[in-house]
Amino acid sequence: MQTTRAPTPKAVLVGVQVQGVSDVDHAADLAELGRLVHTLGYEVVATVSQKRDGVASGTVLGKGKLKELAHLTGGTGVIPSSAKDRTSKAKEAWEAEEAEEAEEAEEAARPPEEDEGVEGEAAPASVRATVVVVDHELSPSQARNLEKATGAQVLDRTGVIVDIFHRHAKSREARMQVEIARLTYVAPRLRESSGGTERQQGRGAGESALELDRRKIRDRIAELKGQLATIAADQDQRRYARRDQLRVALVGYTNAGKSSLMRALTGSEVLVADRLFATLDTTVRALQPETRPRILVSDTVGFIKKLPHDLVASFKSTLDEALEASLLLLVVDASDPTWPAQLEVTQGVLEEIGAGPVTRQLLFNKADRLDAAARAALHERFPEGVVLSAHAADDVAALRERLIAHFEASMVEGELVIPYAKQAVVAQVYEHARVVAETFDEAGRRLVVRALPGAMARLARLIDG
């Protein structure tokens, strides 16, 4: 029996280029939104863009562009009045007059060609978009108005990112973090059902269905935050146990190749995929071949432009790996023409989470996709940066030696005398220090070691205690 594959949902992108945003940045934002939408499994069939002084408060776009959008979705291009609106007729007339005057003023200030609509019949059903994705954060009323005018499902950039996180989260912690962000996003966008004016009986009496749903969401968020606090406490203990170990965190824009570098440096079987936000769970592995003391490498969630603040807050415990690291490896996709903007976003998020003071090393990844001139330009502009490919063994080996040399420069050398009665401490010494020489005498085992100052002091306390 032959099965028929369901058609790929079609989407149209919507963007407003406001004053102060260049054509290049606007095009890059829409291209990135297209990749996000593709990650969700949609096919982008068209893009509707408009230059305006600002995003229209009611429908994002002007009347002409709204009709053009509706032409692609099969909608009417107009917002029908709501018969269930409980406002007075006088208020309705006043609001309609105010909205019309504001729209006319905006249209009068714009060149006519920027707001011309599309005449004729709607696009054929075979190519009609069923989803409208807007490259801005929409208010609930804006989303409702666009849905009425287009007859399509409407998503904003935040909703798309939250949905991607929801699909890609694997660990229990990541799923809870994403659920908090999703519920926070959904709560203000809940709508009254046809029976929404009815009041509940019994527990929660006096609440409408909408109010009850919102209270359930608040209770669920509180429950999830309590569970996450318990997980965070366990993670804090694990991080405290690793406080004297050498730690490196891979940070950077989503799809910059962090997971590929993680696999190359540690030999771990982490997920590597050419898609946005493939990694949401922090993974910690030892640098391979192992060094003494060990160097731990962690892979963190990727950043993106306009990353919703709720997601940054939800993933704070995950991003704490960057705060606790001794060295940040800032991974940049050097093959992406928009990498300077991506680097700026990454540095901004690091400042936001308080990781600004942490030492960092700039890595320009995917150098195998660059020509010699582009590589030379990067070396000249960033002499301290490392240009490499995660798929080139020589590049990875050179990076490994660079990491070892970085930590070696911070180490101090000293002698530890371990009495024969405390030989159990020897394992701790080999775990947190590099043994340079070893001799024995009547006092015990004498070890000349190199270690970080903090680790050296802790080992001395273990021996004296």
224 and 340 in a single domain? The answer is no
Q: What is the pLDDT of residue 389?
A: 95
Tens-digit pLDDT profile for residues 262-285: 999 998 775 555 555 555 567 788
Examine the pLDDT at 119 and tell me if it is beyond 50: no
> Any idea what the CATH number is for the domain that residue 426 is in?
3.30.70
249 and 235 in a single domain? The answer is no
215 and 136 in a single domain? The answer is no
16 and 143 in a single domain? The answer is yes
Please report whether residue 40 resides in a domain.
yes
Examine the pLDDT at 128 and tell me if it is beyond 50: yes
Q: How many CA atoms lie within 13 A of 356 on its CB side?
A: 8
Which H or E element spans position 446? strand 444-451
Which of these, 156, 154, 155, 148, lies nearest to 77 by C-alpha position?
148
Please report whether residue 384 resides in a domain.
yes
| Structure tokens that stand for 419 in this block | 């009495």
Task: For residues 165 and 304, give the distance between their C-alpha atoms in angstroms, rounded to a whole number.
Answer: 12
Q: Which domain holds residue 436?
A: 412-464
> Any idea what the CATH number is for the domain that residue 348 is in?
3.40.50.300
Distances (CA, A) of 21 to 17, 27, 53, 134, 382: 6, 10, 11, 16, 27
Examine the pLDDT at 248 and tell me if it is beyond 70: yes
Examine the pLDDT at 195 and tell me if it is beyond 70: no
Tens-digit pLDDT profile for residues 376-429: 999 999 999 999 999 999 999 999 999 999 999 989 999 999 999 998 899 989
138 and 174 in a single domain? The answer is no
Q: Tokens 């590929």 appear where?
A: 260
359 and 229 in a single domain? The answer is no
Please report whether residue 341 resides in a domain.
yes
Domain boundary among 385, 408, 431: 408
222 and 263 in a single domain? The answer is no
Please report whether residue 225 resides in a domain.
yes
Average pLDDT, integer, range 286-299:
89
390 and 283 in a single domain? The answer is yes
Examine the pLDDT at 200 and tell me if it is beyond 60: no
126 and 232 in a single domain? The answer is no
What pLDDT band is residue 317 in, cutting at 50, 70 and 90?
A: low
Please report whether residue 229 resides in a domain.
yes
Task: For residues 54 and 18, give the distance between their C-alpha atoms in angstroms, rounded to a whole number.
Answer: 5
Please report whether residue 1 resides in a domain.
no
Which of these, 360, 307, 353, lies nearest to 330 by C-alpha position?
360
Domain boundary among 218, 241, 264: 241
153 and 19 in a single domain? The answer is yes
Distances (CA, A) of 429 to 181, 290, 452: 43, 15, 12
Highest mean pLDDT among 7-21, 232-246, 400-414 belongs to 400-414
> Any idea what the CATH number is for the domain that residue 63 is in?
3.40.50.11060
pTM of the model: 0.75
Q: What is the pLDDT of residue 237?
A: 73
If one counts the domains in the chain, the total is 4
183 and 329 in a single domain? The answer is no
Q: What is the pLDDT of residue 43?
A: 92
Helices (H), 325-435: 339-352, 372-381, 393-408, 425-432
Examine the pLDDT at 44 and tell me if it is beyond 50: yes
39 and 154 in a single domain? The answer is yes
Tens-digit pLDDT profile for residues 54-92: 887 788 888 889 999 999 999 988 887 655 545 555 555
